[in-house]
Structure 1
Amino acid sequence: MKKLYFLLLLSLLIGCKKDTPKPAPVKKTPPPAIILTDERTVQIDTALINTFKSETLKQFYNSSENKTVWGNLKKRTYVLSQLKKSEELGLNPEDYKATTLEKFEKKISSLNDKDLATYDILLTYNFELYLTHLYKGKLNPKKLYTDWDLDEKVFDENSILIKAFNKNKLDSIVENIQPKSEAYKELLKALEIINTFPDDEIGLIEAKDKIVLNDTNTALVNIKQRLLFWNDMSGRKDSLTKIYDKKTFEAVKKFQERHGLAADGVIGAGTLSALNFSKQKRKEQIIANLERWRWYTTDLAENYFIVNIPDYSLNVIENQDTTLVRNVVVGTSKRKTPIITSTLKTVVFNPTWTVPPTILKEDVVPAMKKNRNYLAKKNITIYDSANREVDPQAWNENKPHSYRYVQSPGYNNSLGLMKILFPNHHSVYLHDTNHRGNFVRSNRSLSSGCVRVENPLELAQHILNDTLTDNWTKKKIDSIIETKKTINVKITKKYALYQWYWTAWSKKNQLIFRADIYNLDSDLYTKLRN
């Protein structure tokens, strides 16, 4: 009987397993049929289509029964003009064979059937490539960087193109597929503005010491030329002197403000570095930023936190309105803040801090080897694998990774008095800090990867006050902090988190730049043009 019962049970289990529905594979919706007009059409040899090794191209011409589709002059003209003007959007016309296609167009009336088919395929292939690059970028960030967690954007180029083609609405397709955010539009405006500047031939500016008001320095002639070039100062080039006068001082402050520098009028290393950027280098920076914006999601959440890493800023956006702005500290070039799209989940008051592996290896272990009281002074307790407290004198310096190192809650905790958690693969979060004086610095690339936020308790109060069951007053939060007990509070209002990276934009027709703290711009531009 026992054997019979076992066999029956086994057959039921097998039966349940067989009945479990498997997830259906995701299939692309076949593109609609292409409506052909009465212009000249020719049949295309499928072998010619196959030379492009593109399934998308095959599907496109399946929709026209492998006949040419670009017989209409108006449609061809639109495609050709868009590819030629792709430079205005930061792309390279020759990536889309603009010159080759123009040559075909000039002799279209004399093309034989095979050449007409070739021209037709090239038009389709390159226009769809152009649309794809506009929608999600030319390059894949996941193949470039290990710390960029962005979902790849899906783009059904055939359906979008064919629908616009059939409805004679090709003239709106390019604008419709680009990012809709104001920041992206400001970047396009920045590219338009910088193209109005003449080519510059100003030499490298060098100065050993800081230059302050009323100083005399030969470098000031070129500095003034740069300020005139960028319209931060008005005047004549033939009247430039070596004296740092009041007019130049005010122009330098304006320049510094546009570049996110301390607007104190002192010409130091940071200001000189920004002054030494040529028009071409700034243009390349804008183009690199346009590519990055195409990687980002096009559908921003209704409410979100957006951290611009090189700008050291956090903005809270609610219903398209900026409700809070905070200075932040971000990761150094060795311990970069990752690019993340996530959702805020929890506010933790009075957090503990567990020393992460990188800081343990590079900071804690060397310090402990010199002084066994190093961790005790920082209120950090050592625990072994059985969660027992370890005396610092008994700590085995040859097996530092066999312990946990936990800092108790408090004002001097490395995470400060609060942290905000969100799902990510990098173990990073937003948090307070015990180095609160760093927020007044202009260069705030100082952390180990997490984002430190200025006045974080006010931020916590703002986002928790949407809770229906509780009123999160300052008094209530202060009373929690006084307990020094760790408390987790779920964030009920849905906020997305975007930690992104952009170093150029425009504002009120002025070019705005930030230091490329992770040295990404130049390399990205080079890859875009190769």
Structure 2
Amino acid sequence: MRPFVTILAILALMLSMSVGAQEAPREAPRGDLKAEIARLLAEMPAGEGAELRGFYAARDHRAAWGERQRVAAFAEALETLESDGLDPRDYRADRLVAEHRRLQEANAGPAEQARFELATSTLLLNALRHLQRGRLDPRAVDPQWEIPLEPARLDFEAISRAVDGQRFEQAFGEARPAYAPYERLRSGLARYRNIERLGGWPGLPDTPRVLRAGDVDDAVAQLRRRLAMEGELEVMAADTDAFPGAELQSPDPRRFDTALEAAVKRFQRRHLLEVDGVVGPPTRAALNVPVAARIDQIRVNLERARWLLHGLPEAFVLVDIAGYRLSYFRPNGEIWQSRIVVGQPYRRTPSLRSEITHMTVNPTWTVPPTILREDVLPRVRRDPSYLQSQNMRVLTPSGQRLDPWQVDWYNPGNVMIRQDPGPQNALGQVVIRFPNDHLVYLHDTPAQGLFAREQRAFSSGCIRVEGVLAFAQLLFDDTGSGQDVRALIASGQTRNVSLGRPMPVILHYWTVHPDENGQLVFRPDIYERDDALLRALDRPLAL
């Protein structure tokens, strides 16, 4: 992100006007505001103020903020940034009109007017850039961030026309990511804020008791009200005071009936919980998360969307880490999706952007050093026959085979362990590879049962893909490689096979994301990244 030096300097000038700062020396002749704007821009250090220069060059240095009505319209538009999870106070929406009035009433000279001009235009450009690429630098929030950052692309002539026509909300709309998930997150934010205005939802008693179909209890009535507030359930006759005008259901809100069980399952599905219709500790904990926390979670993920949802290629693979899902956006417009297994919290799958270049069929697996040290060696020390049972060989660094019974496994030295191809191989039958510094990849797995879990952070950083053979064949077909993945596997040979052309792949982390029906799905923050991002997002822009 571009440093805020210029922005801060201009805002400091604007604030200084509010305390009666004197006009700057070398003021242009009174009334020559255009010349004063040009002079201030020219005095900015090289490398700073490029956006301001571009904006005023598009206007031939004409003033943009002389009319009170235009300033008021801009201030009003800034308030709408709240719908994007941004804070209008960061853009001084509450001060602009008053400062403009003060300048007019004081019959301020060109120097003061020019400073107000540049400060207000900076706020506009700031807001547009934040909507387009995010308010924060992701590298400052997440040290492991590796997705290349594209600079904001501002059309200064279009912005200038929007200012003259007071079409600020239209300009904001054009700056926002033009992808459905972003708009659905904004709609969800508005919905949950409305719930907050209504007082939020009731919590369930913090007891170990489990609620299930057939129960009759006051806690069931509370559960019913809780789910009704989030739209999972129609309300009952006893709840008409809390939800006036709502459609009514059965007359006994204390009974855990089949409709309530179905609503609990919908809630569990939207929160990546075990879908059993039973309100045990995990489901109760998710139900008792305050609406304010859900609002913050949506705001955090709107910022993540602004980082990523721009300039996406026509066809690409998106790995949704926290959602345990892979989506392949095919060149023909179809979307192929699958469940995935990602890295455990202490072996995190990284966020990155790369290109799939080739596949390995019938792969061998060389045990990585961390897994060798923490997983394999303890098992071999207990039972050296473990290696034979897993079809693993012991090798020197040069590839010479060693007898596992002759190795001191408490001091093995510089040995490698490699698993031969076959049904037990940890990588399965195919590996989908893309260059990256973390040596992670997409791959098959013999542990197919893990895909049935709702939360699937079990790997050592790489991504296991359900139905990976079908996915691999689609990649071969869509890139014109002319390969048959099943025939390659049937050969029994370990081979690297290139795609006809590289396929972009993005690994990213969302803890809230719309599902295929547009409903927001709240995911556990498995890598504990939300808090740091929220703190940074809530920190006011320094002046």
Report the counterpart of residue 457 of structure 1 in structure 2: 469
Instruction: Assess if the C-alpha contact under 8 Å between 1:137 and 1:295 holds in 2.
Output: yes
The offset of 1:400, in angstroms, is: 4.8
Distance 1:401 1:297 in 2: 47
User: What is the letter of the counterpart of residue 439 of structure 1?
Assistant: F
The offset of 1:287, in angstroms, is: 0.8
- Give yes or no for the alignment of 1:443 onto 2:441: no
- Give yes or no for the alignment of 1:220 onto 2:220: yes
Identity of aligned residues (%): 29
Report the counterpart of residue 510 of structure 2 in structure 1: 502
Pick from 324, 328, 332: which aligns with 1:316?
328
Equivalences for residues 252-271 of structure 1 within 5 A: 252-271=264-283
Report the counterpart of residue 393 of structure 1 in structure 2: 405
- 1:370-425, Cα deviation, whole Å (9 max, x unpaired): 33333232112121123211222333445556222111111110011111001111
Distance 1:77 1:161 in 2: 21
Report the counterpart of residue 498 of structure 2 in structure 1: 490
Moved more, 420-429 or 496-505: 496-505
- Give yes or no for the alignment of 1:272 onto 2:284: yes
Moved more, 254-263 or 177-186: 254-263
The CA RMSD over aligned residues, in Å, is 3.1
- Give yes or no for the alignment of 1:137 onto 2:134: yes
Question: Structure 1 residues 416 and 124 mapped into 2: Cα distance closer, same or farther (>3 Å)?
Answer: same
The offset of 1:466, in angstroms, is: 4.1
Report the counterpart of residue 23 of structure 2 in structure 1: none
Question: Structure 1 residues 428 and 82 mapped into 2: Cα distance closer, same or farther (>3 Å)?
Answer: same
Gaps of 5+ in 2: 1-30, 240-250
Instruction: Assess if the C-alpha contact under 8 Å between 1:128 and 1:161 holds in 2.
Output: no
Report the counterpart of residue 365 of structure 1 in structure 2: 377
- 1:232-281, Cα deviation, whole Å (9 max, x unpaired): 11224557755423232122122223333343312233322321122211
SS in 1 for 2:422: coil
The offset of 1:294, in angstroms, is: 1.1
Report the counterpart of residue 14 of structure 2 in structure 1: none
Report the counterpart of residue 419 of structure 1 in structure 2: 431
SS in 1 for 2:94: helix
Question: Structure 1 residues 399 and 99 mapped into 2: Cα distance closer, same or farther (>3 Å)?
Answer: farther
Question: Structure 1 residues 442 and 86 mapped into 2: Cα distance closer, same or farther (>3 Å)?
Answer: same
Equivalences for residues 123-522 of structure 1 within 5 A: 123-155=120-152, 157=154, 160-165=155-160, 168=164, 171=168, 172-197=170-195, 198-200=198-200, 202-203=202-203, 205-216=205-216, 219-236=219-236, 238=239, 242-319=254-331, 321-397=333-409, 400=412, 402-466=414-478, 470=482, 472=484, 477-506=485-514, 510-522=519-531
User: What is the letter of the counterpart of residue 534 of structure 2?
Assistant: Y
- 1:65-94, Cα deviation, whole Å (9 max, x unpaired): 988542245643443233222111111111
Instruction: Assess if the C-alpha contact under 8 Å between 1:79 and 1:123 holds in 2.
Output: no
Distance 1:291 1:491 in 2: 34
Gaps of 5+ in 1: 1-37
- Give yes or no for the alignment of 1:43 onto 2:24: no
TM-score (structure 1 length as normaliser): 0.83
The offset of 1:196, in angstroms, is: 2.7
SS in 2 for 1:424: coil
Question: Structure 1 residues 467 and 292 mapped into 2: Cα distance closer, same or farther (>3 Å)?
Answer: closer
Instruction: Assess if the C-alpha contact under 8 Å between 2:71 and 2:97 holds in 1.
Output: no
SS in 1 for 2:341: strand
Instruction: Assess if the C-alpha contact under 8 Å between 1:153 and 1:297 holds in 2.
Output: no
Report the counterpart of residue 20 of structure 1 in structure 2: none
The offset of 1:195, in angstroms, is: 2.7
Report the counterpart of residue 116 of structure 1 in structure 2: 113
SS in 2 for 1:311: coil
SS in 1 for 2:398: coil
Number of residue equivalences: 487
